[in-house]
Amino acid sequence: MIIKIYKSFNEKNFNFKILQRFVTRLVEVGKFETPKQQAKYKDGQLFMHKIFGYRGVILFPWVAKVYDHNALLSDDIPLIRNLTKRSGNEQHGIATTFYQVLIDQRDCPYIRAQPESVTFLGSKNDISLYAIPGLDYVHHEDILPYISNDSQPIQHELFEKFLRPTNGVPAFEGSSTLQMWHEKNHKWLEISDVHRETTENIRVTVAPFYMGSRVCQVVQQSTGYWWRYTIRLENLGNESVQLRERHWRIFSFSGTLETVRGRGVVGQEPLLSPANPAFQYSSHVSLQSPSGQMWGTYRMEKSDGTIFEVRIPPFALESKEDENN
């Protein structure tokens, strides 16, 4: 199957006559391959995202444990439910392959997901915040592989640094720069636990990432631990719903419990419809303790005005200071 995408020629301040001359055409970008059911994709594999439709290229795989909280304990106390996993009862976690990928920057304005950016603080003595835009984590089942004859099929500033052409299949492979970058930043990039929960056909998937800690140079002690978390909301039903509010509970193992409420998420109130059923975003949280828990709810509104709450599955915030030391 040949992949074609729409390309538009945009004009600023156009009137109706110019609108009539507005041109849309199809551009061939490649040919689909048969998706793999079990075997992992190699670095350099081109793909289209099954849910968000953007073009991308695989950098390397991760194996994460996916916890379906609908299948876990029916206890209504989220903290106790998650502590069960922390105590070593992990039989419900299913090892699943995810991929670190580069997103084609041409597609970022048109997808219902933030152009993902991996952020981290680096070493304890480094006060800088590092951000690498255009990275995402993609579930194996969301990969639609394709091939292309284009010498640079993905437009991203890191494409030529991280990948090099080959004569094999796929047509690109990871470079030594990619390998060194992976090894150096492994602890900030790793996806280890993924949590899912479905309420009234709305599935919420959360993946937390440790970013690092800030250090007070005077006393040489950590003054805060930071995490990034990525959330995908998916409407599995046939009725449109809109996210109106969020309600978070953030527990620190130093003994504090914080409540956070607000309108929408990241300044938006996304509509999840059958035509556009998914939305993804990232945010950050900090604790004074090296570990904690988060859980909460989204308040959703149906097309008839009915309000209902969707549970956000509880997930652990774990630092990696022991690894750093």
Do residues 303 and 220 share a domain?
yes
Q: Where does the pLDDT of residue 113 fall: very low under 50, low under 70, confident under 90, or very high at 90 and above?
A: confident
The answer to whether the beta carbons of residues 9 and 23 sit under 8 Å apart is: yes
- Is residue 69 a part of any domain in this protein? yes
Do residues 60 and 182 share a domain?
yes
Q: Percentage of the chain with pLDDT > 90?
A: 65
* pTM of the predicted model as reported, rounded to 2 decimal places: 0.84
- Is residue 50 a part of any domain in this protein? yes
Q: What is the mean pLDDT of residues 146-172?
A: 94
Which of 131, 161, 191 terminates a domain? The answer is 191
pLDDT score for 321: 62
Which of 191, 218, 238 terminates a domain? The answer is 191
Of 28-37, 264-273, 282-291, 316-325, where does mean pLDDT reach its minimum? 316-325
Backbone angles phi, psi at 291, to 5 degrees: -155, 160
- Is residue 136 a part of any domain in this protein? yes
Sorted by sequence, the CB contacts under 8 Å of residue 54 that are 6+ apart come out as 48, 103, 104, 107, 108, 110, 111, 113
- Is residue 97 a part of any domain in this protein? yes
> Rg for the chain (alpha carbons), in Å?
21
Do residues 157 and 71 share a domain?
yes
pLDDT score for 8: 44
Q: Is the pLDDT of residue 5 over 70?
A: no
Q: Is the pLDDT of residue 106 over 90?
A: yes
pLDDT score for 10: 45
- Is residue 15 a part of any domain in this protein? no
pLDDT of 190-207, one tens digit each?
Answer: 998 999 999 999 999 999
Q: What is the largest CA-CA distance in the chain?
A: 68
Distances (CA, A) of 18 to 6, 10, 24, 290: 19, 10, 13, 58
b/e code 144-155 from CB counts within 10 Å (16+ = b):
bbbbbeeeebbe
Do residues 55 and 181 share a domain?
yes
pLDDT score for 325: 39
- Is residue 82 a part of any domain in this protein? no
pLDDT score for 89: 43
d(CA 245, CA 232): 15
The answer to whether the beta carbons of residues 138 and 230 sit under 8 Å apart is: no
| Domain count within the chain | 2
Q: Is the pLDDT of residue 96 over 90?
A: yes
- Is residue 68 a part of any domain in this protein? yes
Do residues 59 and 174 share a domain?
yes
The answer to whether the beta carbons of residues 97 and 140 sit under 8 Å apart is: yes
- Is residue 274 a part of any domain in this protein? yes
**CA 145 to centroid of chain Cα atoms:** 19
pLDDT of 31-74, one tens digit each?
Answer: 999 999 989 999 999 999 999 999 999 999 999 999 999 987 55
Query: How much is the mean pLDDT over the chain?
Result: 84
Do residues 225 and 264 share a domain?
yes
Do residues 145 and 293 share a domain?
no
Distances (CA, A) of 316 to 54, 103, 171, 286: 30, 28, 39, 13
Do residues 51 and 172 share a domain?
yes
Do residues 205 and 153 share a domain?
no
Q: How does DSSP classify residue 306?
A: -
Q: Is the pLDDT of residue 21 over 50?
A: no
Do residues 52 and 182 share a domain?
yes
Q: Is the pLDDT of residue 218 over 60?
A: no
d(CA 8, CA 181): 36
Q: What is the CATH number of the domain that holds 202?
A: 2.60.40.1470
Q: Which residue has the higher pLDDT, 316 or 90?
A: 316
Backbone angles phi, psi at 31, to 5 degrees: -130, 135
**Domain coverage including residue 46:** 33-75+92-191
pLDDT of 245-273, one tens digit each?
Answer: 999 999 999 899 999 999 999 999 999 99
pLDDT score for 2: 59
Tokens linked to 289? 């303790």
Do residues 185 and 225 share a domain?
no
Which of 191, 213, 247 terminates a domain? The answer is 191
Do residues 290 and 302 share a domain?
yes
